[in-house]
Structure 1
Amino acid sequence: MTSEETPVTSKAELNDELKALLLRAYENGIDVEGGFECRNGVEHPDWDVIVTEVEKNDHSE
């Protein structure tokens, strides 16, 4: 985390950050669908993230 970043302290904030990241990537021509390994060194857990596009419904924001 850089000094400009604010800490994520809730699932809602995590969701907001993920949405913003995915949108920025999509708008810059990156295919965001698929699997991503997030390796974080020995002191933190690793994660596997799967991104899939979902069909919009009438209530989508």
Structure 2
Amino acid sequence: MTSEETSPASRKELNAELKALLRRAYESGIDVEGGFECRNGIEHPDWDVIVTEVEKNDHSE
């Protein structure tokens, strides 16, 4: 995140940022499916993120 970017203030904004990140990675040829460890040092919690491709439905954006 750069100094010009703002932090997400809601789950909806977080989802939008995650969607944009995954799209950019996919378009760059990165295999985004799988597990990712997010280690964040002492000040913040660590997370384990699992990304799986799902079947599109009629309501997909």
Q: Sort the TM-score into its range (normalised by shorter chain).
A: over 0.9
Paired residue secondary structure (2:35): strand
Q: CA deviation at 1:59?
A: 1.3
CA RMSD of aligned residues (A): 0.8
Deviations 1:21-56 (A, max 9, x none): 000000000000000000000110000000000000
- Regions of 4+ moved over 6 Å: none
Q: Does 1:49 align with 2:18?
A: no
Provide the C-alpha distance between the structure 2 equivalents of 1:8 and 1:59, rounded to a whole number of angstroms: 24
Provide the C-alpha distance between the structure 2 equivalents of 1:59 and 1:2, rounded to a whole number of angstroms: 33
Task: Report what 1:37 is aligned to.
Answer: 37
How many residue pairs were aligned? 61
* Percent identity of equivalent pairs: 85
Provide the C-alpha distance between the structure 2 equivalents of 1:27 and 1:41, rounded to a whole number of angstroms: 30
Provide the C-alpha distance between the structure 2 equivalents of 1:46 and 1:7, rounded to a whole number of angstroms: 18
